[in-house]
Amino acid sequence: MIETAPLFAGLAAEDARRVAGTLGVYVRKYGRNEALIWQGERVVAVGMALSGRFVSSRSDAEGNRVTVSVIRPGGYIGVMLAGRGEISPVDVIAEDDGAVVFVSVAAIIDHAGDTPEHRVIVRNFLAAVADKAIELYGRVAILSAPTIRAKILELLAREAVGEWFRLPLNRSQMAEYLACDRSALSRELSRMKSEGIIDFDGDMFKILTVSPQRR
């Protein structure tokens, strides 16, 4: 199971398990609503979701919960924090039952030159950091969009895979992620559907066309 984690991409299953043993990799299972990381906790190990779905969120100055991201199988947890042992600005909670594989960044660095397989691990880790930076850039692009409609289109364009695609956010999480009121979001989604810009059914979405003027 460990060999399916993205950190071991490019390695044969046997090599992945052998390298994992030298790095002290371990797997932990989580139940629904169980916390992986608490806001304010120091993060020293990188997590990779093997199964389940995990939501990172934070409390704003008024105590409201704000969804930051949803981590699906194959996604990394704490990859930008673990390298420096930073304090987590978010809680990460299991949305359903799942499993996460953890590895210490210090172990990755300490064993970086041991074998060609260890060097693959280092390259994959650096790629994960770069991917996270790109993801954060996309988040900034969404939040800086001038209108709710523009935010929705930015989000859907980034999530689109195929004609119909699943958005890994319920409506409350989507409103939090876009930093807008849920009622206003629902109204805008309904308008965009009636105008033939998008179609949706629950969490399944389809982009039909882009409005010539984003409201």
Which CATH number is 107's domain given?
2.60.120.10
Residues 137 and 166 in one domain: no
CB within 8 A of 152, min separation 6: which ones?
178, 185, 188, 189, 192, 198
Strand pairing report for 45-51 and 98-104: antiparallel
For residues 83-92, average pLDDT: 91
- Check whether residue 158 and residue 138 sit in a common domain: no
Q: Say if 213 falls within a structural domain.
A: no
pLDDT at 210: 59
**What is the greatest pairwise CA distance in the chain?**
59
pLDDT for res 179: 86
* pLDDT greater than 60 at residue 145: yes
Domain that holds residue 182: 147-207
Q: Give yes or no for a contact between 51 and 73, defined as CB atoms under 8 angstroms apart.
A: yes
Q: Which of 1-5, 35-39, 165-169, 182-186 has the lowest mean pLDDT?
A: 1-5
The Cα-based distances of 167 to 14, 37, 70, 171 in angstroms read 35, 24, 10, 10
CB 214 within 8 A of CB 147: yes
The number of folded domains in the chain is: 2
Tracing tokens 């949706």 back to the chain, one arrives at 200
Q: pLDDT tens for residues 112-126?
A: 888 999 999 999 999
Kindly list the distances between the CA atom of residue 112 and the CA atoms of 44, 48, 85, 168, 208, in Å, as whole numbers in the listed order: 17, 19, 18, 35, 47
CATH code, domain with 165:
1.10.10.10
By the 10 Å C-beta count (0-12 exposed, 13-18 middle, 19+ buried), 183 is classed as: exposed
Please give the residue that has the higher pLDDT: either 195 or 64: 195
Mean pLDDT of the chain: 90
